[in-house]
Structure 1
Amino acid sequence: MRFASLGSGSQGNGTLIEWSDGALLLDCGFSMKEAELRLARLERSPRDLSALLVTHEHGDHIKGIAAMARRYQLPVYMTPGTYHSRDLGVIPQLRLIEGYRAFRIGSLEVEPVPVPHDAREPSQFIFCSDGIKFGVLTDLGSISPHVEERYCDCDALLLEANHDPVMLASGPYPPSLKQRVGGAWGHLSNQQTAGFLARVDTDKLQALVIAHISQKNNSLAAARAVLDPVTQSVARVQYACQDEGFGWIQLRAPLTSAALA
């Protein structure tokens, strides 16, 4: 399995995931033309995709989904709440995720995970293929016990560290938006992300990508100051950016006890 990013932040998100017999784009918060250009940077096009998958209905995650689905005749997976929250027009191959039930796309196992976020029926996802467990966890305001339990033993994580509380409090957002971002249904702070990482098994992580970093309420220096102390054991730590996302990260199946014998 491997994954890469078209971009990560409030101006648009998209994560490209490939496995042995398929590929999907998780979210498309860009216009279709912009998404095509960003896919081309990764030497891919929408024609290479097996499916589109959506976390929730906010524009920085869903903007280009319907147009891409129609032009390239791609199946789209999302929860009923996400679908009914916006007028997306006709989606020829709509696959509704009912009750957060797990499903498969080819050999890829997809586990939807409910998260506390200010959307109608938001979901984050865990992907399993060839013995690899890859978790994507962004756009949530707090770590519920269920979320922590499901993401505690991943081989790789794409994890939100959205804001620095001091920068958010003193920044340009109006009070209502500051309350929303910093609330239990908004986005994770650097400190919340660090606390989560301190509680899970980071020794197993082949790769950790810190994502959805706010351009107005956070900085790379602020995030690293909080997160570096709890990521010392991680083999690879990377920080995603809005404009460039990040390039391909290859994951390999962990060696089993039988293979080590």
Structure 2
Amino acid sequence: MTAMRFALLGSGSKGNALVVEQGATRLLIDCGFSAREIEKRLARLELTPGDIDAIVITHEHDDHWKGVSRFSRAHDLPVWLTPGTQAAKPGSELAATELYSPHEPFAIGDLELFPYPVPHDAREPAQLVIGNGEHRLGVLSDIGHVTPHVRAMVDACDALIIESNHDPDMLAGGPYPPSLKARVGGRLGHLSNAEAAALVSEIDTGALQHVVVAHLSESNNRPDLARAALAEALACTPDWVHVANQNEGLSWRSLVNR
């Protein structure tokens, strides 16, 4: 079996998109950039839109949805989304719509997807564990607080993409208006560095080959703070923790048998 691999086209409040590949199957997880920008960012990975088999959307917020209608129609790609996400975007024109439940696994090509619900201020948000039968990639972003079910889903993964959105002190003293500060730091907002680190310290990380910090705020966080928090929880050096940023994302990472 060929190695499963993944790369991020970009991650942050201005846009999010992830590519996961197993054999001939390539999925685009979220499409939070314009269609043209998605094409440019795919090219950096030596991919074209024709290499993508389907788009899977986690929720309807613009930084995960922005380009999906135009990109799916331009390249005749089916879009998988929850019924709640579909209801939150009435009138959206997609090439084809496939509904998934955040409680039931499904497969696309050579990849298995295990969605799970998360507390976030969207209609029916989900996150994903993606596997190939040997390895599991946990994707956890846009979540206000960790539930026991979330903890169980991302336990013992081989790679983990985890939101480490803000430093509470920077958020409190930052430029956001009070209402937005309350939303970001609230129970339906985003994880802080300390909350992400606490989750990592509570799960089995023995199989981890990669840990990626995602959805890092450009206004209320710094990469070194997020890295340090996760590294302490993992008992590793900070340089082992990858950071996916808004502009460059993160290049290919592979999951291999040890």
TM-score scaled to structure 1, two decimals?
Answer: 0.94
Query: Which of 62, 82, 85 in structure 2 is aligned with 1:82?
Result: 85
Q: Verify the 8 A CA contact 2:12 2:245 in the aligned structure 1.
A: yes
Q: Which runs of 5+ in 2 are unaligned?
A: none
Query: Which of 86, 92, 95 in structure 2 is aligned with 1:92?
Result: 95
1:219 aligns with 2:222: yes
Letter in 2 for 1:247: S
1:208 aligns with 2:211: yes
3-state SS of the aligned residue for 1:70? helix
Alignment of 1:47-86 (within 5 A): 47-86=50-89
Residue by residue over 1:78-134, the C-alpha shift from the partner in whole angstroms, topping out at 9 and shown as x without a partner, is 001111112453223100113532110012111111000000000000111040111
Q: Verify the 8 A CA contact 2:213 2:242 in the aligned structure 1.
A: yes
Aligned partner of 2:244 in structure 1 is 240
Letter in 2 for 1:112: P
Letter in 2 for 1:156: A
* Compared CA separation, residues 81 and 42, structure 1 to 2 (3 A): same
Aligned partner of 2:9 in structure 1 is 6
Q: Which runs of 5+ in 1 are unaligned?
A: 255-261
Aligned mates of 1:209, 1:201 — CA distance in 2? 16
TM-score scaled to structure 2, two decimals?
Answer: 0.95
3-state SS of the aligned residue for 1:230? helix
1:199 aligns with 2:202: yes
CA apart distance, 1:140: 0.1
Query: Which of 138, 148, 153 in structure 1 is aligned with 2:151?
Result: 148
* Compared CA separation, residues 205 and 252, structure 1 to 2 (3 A): same
Q: Verify the 8 A CA contact 2:156 2:206 in the aligned structure 1.
A: no
1:231 aligns with 2:234: yes
CA apart distance, 1:240: 0.9
CA apart distance, 1:237: 2.1
Aligned partner of 2:253 in structure 1 is 249
Aligned length: 254
3-state SS of the aligned residue for 2:198? helix
CA apart distance, 1:222: 1.9
**Most deviating of 115-124 and 65-74:** 65-74
3-state SS of the aligned residue for 2:206? helix
Letter in 2 for 1:179: A
Aligned mates of 2:109, 2:161 — CA distance in 1? 22
Q: Verify the 8 A CA contact 1:203 1:233 in the aligned structure 2.
A: no
Aligned mates of 1:150, 1:130 — CA distance in 2? 15
Letter in 1 for 2:252: W
Aligned mates of 1:34, 1:19 — CA distance in 2? 24
CA apart distance, 1:183: 0.5
Aligned partner of 1:134 in structure 2 is 137
Aligned mates of 2:102, 2:161 — CA distance in 1? 24
Aligned mates of 1:27, 1:98 — CA distance in 2? 16
Q: RMSD between aligned alpha carbons?
A: 1.4
Identity of aligned residues (%): 48
Q: Verify the 8 A CA contact 2:59 2:125 in the aligned structure 1.
A: yes
CA apart distance, 1:230: 1.4
